[in-house]
Amino acid sequence: MTSAQALVKATKARLDALNNGGVQAQRAQLQAQHDQAQSQLTSAQDQLVVAQARVAAAQNGSLDAQVKAAQAQVDAAREKLISDQTHLDQLDSGPQAEDVQAAQDAVDQATQQVALAQQPSTQQDIAAQQALVEGAKQALAKAQAPYTAYDLAQQQDMVSSAAAQVDKAENPYTDQDVATAQAGVDQAQAALAQAQLGVQETQVVAPVDGVVLNRQVSPGALVGPTSPIVTLIPPQLDVDINVDEASLGKVQQGQTVQIVVPAYADQPFTGTITTIAPAVDQKTRTSAVQITPQDPQNRLKAGMLATVSVTVGDQPDALLVPRTAVGSNVTPGMQTSVITIDPTGKVVRTPVQIGLTSGDQVQISSGLSDGQLVATGNTGGLTDGEIVQPQVQTLTASVLAH
């Protein structure tokens, strides 16, 4: 582009010179030459840069790569030349012996096939083919009439036998056979029922759950319907007590009680009243009460003697006397008397009213005051006004109302 511009300027300068002539034309020509020379200088500098880049590439190994690539092309061309020369040598040397033999074998086989086509079969082959034709004819005839009269008769016999078997399968038994079989079934059921009854009679089943305490007969002994065999203890022990008629109104189902047995005198058990008899015994004037104890460790045993305390009331700061001072047959609310001893030692029979009772202690609701001496034990021989020498024993009570 620079050269073209310089050429344009030079051409234009010549045109101007032709138009104007003289010094201006020469000046313009010189200017054009100068511009053209400057353009050539720039082009030469660019070529110098390109040449320097090629020199640097050659020094960095790019030229070696080009040389190796060219050498590889030469080696490939040489190998191809050798291969082509070998193939040419083979063509020049003519066919190999094995190739000629293979071609000859192919010609012989083709000749045999031509001869076979011209004369396809010998007499033996024709006979074999004739036999095949006869077999095919027989097969065709059998297909058109597959069964002879003998075959049909034999097949009819087989059908009749199969029909008889089917009839026997549909009606395997006569009415007499069924009746005989039913009689056998009834007899077997009767024998089974008799055997089951015999097995049941050899087993003794307890009417309730429990634990065997003792066995009263030995294995093999003869027993009757009323003969005791074993003694059972219920799995859940109950405590039975009798509550007097006067206190029965204060006992309720679900009430909590305290149970003490001699085996664990210092470890009372807690129990709950579960049932109360609906009637009172006419002789003892008491009612049976059943209590279920709380004994998770199963320490209570059947037959133990237990003392049961049933709380029917609570009286704080109660005035108490030993039960031996009033007698054992006292009930809450009754009137009785006790033997008191005044400070001078004189015996005085004092009427009192019984309050609550608890074990060996009895509450005196009226008739006595705190601090009075009360005679205990056998007081039947004491009379009013008699002078005695008392032996004082102080008792302390913490619980009342049983």
| pLDDT tens-digit map of 41-55 | 676 667 676 666 665
Same domain, 327 and 395: yes
pLDDT of residue 289: 93
Looking at the predicted structure, is the pLDDT value of residue 270 above 90?
yes
Any domain includes 75 = no
Same domain, 245 and 325: no
Any domain includes 299 = yes
Looking at the predicted structure, is the pLDDT value of residue 238 above 70?
yes
Any domain includes 372 = yes
Average pLDDT taken over every residue of the chain:
75
Domain CATH number, residue 253: 2.40.30.170
Given a contact cutoff of 8 angstroms between Cβ atoms, the answer to whether 31 and 11 are in contact is no
Any domain includes 367 = yes
| pLDDT tens-digit map of 130-176 | 777 677 666 666 665 655 676 667 767 777 777 777 776 666 667 78
Same domain, 320 and 287: no
| pLDDT tens-digit map of 297-336 | 889 988 899 988 887 777 788 888 888 888 777 877 888 8
Given a contact cutoff of 8 angstroms between Cβ atoms, the answer to whether 345 and 301 are in contact is no
pLDDT of residue 174: 74
| pLDDT tens-digit map of 203-225 | 788 888 888 888 999 988 888 88
Same domain, 283 and 322: no
Any domain includes 12 = yes
pLDDT of residue 400: 44
Same domain, 336 and 369: yes
Domain boundary among 285, 310, 335: 310
Same domain, 243 and 294: yes
> What order of strands is seen across the sheet that includes strand 373-374?
320-322, 361-366, 347-358, 335-341, 373-374
Average confidence (pLDDT) over 65-91 = 63
Rounded to two decimals, the pTM is: 0.38
Same domain, 355 and 401: yes
Residue of 15 and 142 predicted with greater confidence: 142
pLDDT of residue 237: 85
pLDDT band at 347, cuts 50/70/90? confident
Same domain, 328 and 280: no
Segment 15-24 long-range contacts (CB within 8 Å, at least 24 positions apart): none
Same domain, 301 and 342: no
Any domain includes 243 = yes
Domain count, the chain: 3
Given a contact cutoff of 8 angstroms between Cβ atoms, the answer to whether 282 and 333 are in contact is no
Any domain includes 98 = no
| DSSP string across 86-134 | HHHHHHHH---HHHHHHHHHHHHHHHHHHHHHHS---HHHHHHHHHHHH
Where is average pLDDT lowest: 88-92, 97-101, 286-290?
A: 88-92
Looking at the predicted structure, is the pLDDT value of residue 234 above 60?
yes
Alpha carbon 62 to its chain's center: 77
Same domain, 306 and 325: no
Domain boundary among 310, 336, 369: 310
pLDDT of residue 273: 94
Which structural domain, as residue segments, surrounds residue 282?
237-310
Looking at the predicted structure, is the pLDDT value of residue 63 above 90?
no
Looking at the predicted structure, is the pLDDT value of residue 58 above 60?
no
Same domain, 298 and 324: no
Looking at the predicted structure, is the pLDDT value of residue 15 above 60?
no
Same domain, 321 and 306: no
Looking at the predicted structure, is the pLDDT value of residue 399 above 50?
no
Domain CATH number, residue 379: 2.40.420.20
Any domain includes 366 = yes
